[in-house]
Amino acid sequence: MEDPARHAVPFDKVITALLDNEHPFPPVHLHRLSDISAADLVNLQKSWSQVNPDRRAALLEDLEDLAEADTLVSFDDLGKFALSDPDPRVREVALRLLWESEEVSLVTNLLQMVENDPAEKVRGAAATALGQYIYLGELEEIPEAVLHRIEKKLLEITTSASEPKLVRRRALEALGFSSRPELKPLILAAYNNNDPEWLVSALFAMGRSASSNWIPSVMDMLDSDNEEVLFEAVRAAGELEAPAARRPLLKMVKSQPLGSEIRMAAIWSLSKIGGEKVRNTLEKTLEESEDDDEIEMLEDALENLQFTEGFNQFGLIDYEPEDGEEIMAQAEADSWDDDLDETESGEDDTEGEDE
C-alpha cells in the first residue's frame, strides 16, 4: 500500500530544491520521486536541463541507494525518462535504477543503447539490464521472440573482437542466465583466458547458470590470490548452492579480515548452502562482530539460512554430483573438512591451555 506521506510535499518545492545548487538536495524529498505521477514527471522534465549534470547524477545515485534500502519505492518512471539524458553518467545510473524492471516495452530501448550509445560504461550497463529479461525469458514470463532478440544481440557483442572489453564482459555476464548451447564454450573461453577480468566475468556467468556442472571450476578459484577472482568465486559458490564449497567458505569466515568484502560474501554464500556447522559459525560470528555492516549482513544471512534449511529439511533440494569432476570437487572439499576440524581442534586445545 502506498504511503500518503510520500506525496505530502508539494512537487514545486521538490523542483525548487533540485535547482538550488547552493545546498544539498534534502534527503526527505527523495521519497517524493517514487511512483511519480505523470503530471509531476512533466514538470520535472521541464526543469531537468536546468539542473547541474553533477547534481542530476548525484540525485539518481541517491535514489539508487534508497531503492536498495527500501523495497517499497519505485523510480522506474524517472529512470526511463533519464535514459535520454545528454550526460553519460546520468544515463548509466538511470539504467541501474531499471536493473530489476520487468517492462518488456523497455527492451527495444535497451537493445539500442547496448549497441549504439557513445559511452562504453552506458553500453555495459544496458547489457547488464538486459540480463534481467533473459532470466524472465528462461522462466517463460516474456515472449520467446523477445528473449531470442536479446540473446542474439548479446551473443554478437560477446563474440566480437571489435567491441570494447567491458561491453563484451557485461554481455557475457548477462547471458549467464541463458540456456543457449552456444554459451558454455564462451564461458569456458573466458574462464581459461589469462586476463583476470575475463575470469571474473566467467565466474559471474557460472553463478547465474544454475548448473552444478560449473562447481569444480568455481572450487578451483576458491584459493585464488586475486581478490576480485576470489570474491566472484565465493559469490558463485553460493549462487550454485555448492555443498562442496561449504568448508572452504567456513574457513574464510574465520580467516578473512573483519568486514572485508570476501568475508561478507562468504557469509552470504554459506546462508544459501547451509549444512553442518554453518548456523553455529554464523551465530558465533554475529556475537563477536563489532562491524555494523557485517552485523546487518549476518542477521540477514541467518534469516536466509532459515529459508535454506527449510528447503533442505523437506527434501526440496536433493544434490548429487553429476559427473566425475563434481565427485572430485566434493572429495577436495572433504579435505577442507579435515583441515577445518584440525584448526578447530587446535583452537579448543589452546583455550584449554589458557584455562
Residue 133 to residues 21, 130, 176, 229, 301, Cα–Cα distance (Å): 38, 5, 12, 26, 27
Distance CA 187, CA 167 (A): 15
Distance CA 58, CA 62 (A): 6
Q: What is the pLDDT along the chain (355 residues), one digit of tens a residue?
A: 445 445 578 999 999 999 999 999 999 999 999 999 999 999 999 999 999 999 999 999 999 999 999 999 999 999 999 999 999 999 999 999 999 999 999 999 999 999 999 999 999 999 999 999 999 999 999 999 999 999 999 999 999 999 999 999 999 999 999 999 999 999 999 999 999 999 999 999 999 999 999 999 999 999 999 999 999 999 999 999 999 999 999 999 999 999 899 999 999 999 999 988 999 999 999 999 999 999 999 999 999 999 998 866 654 444 444 454 444 444 444 444 444 454 454 444 434 444 3
DSSP conformational letter for 26: P
- Amino acid identity at 85: D
State residue 205's pLDDT score: 99
Distance CA 236, CA 246 (A): 12
Tens-digit pLDDT profile for residues 185-203: 999 999 999 999 999 999 9
State residue 348's pLDDT score: 47
State residue 4's pLDDT score: 45
Distance CA 270, CA 132 (A): 24
CA geometry: angle 38, 41, 42, nearest 5 deg: 90
- Report the predicted TM-score, pTM, of the whole model to 2 decimal places: 0.85
State residue 304's pLDDT score: 96
State residue 320's pLDDT score: 44
- Amino acid identity at 119: A
Tens-digit pLDDT profile for residues 283-317: 999 999 999 999 999 999 999 999 998 866 654 44
Residues in the chain: 355
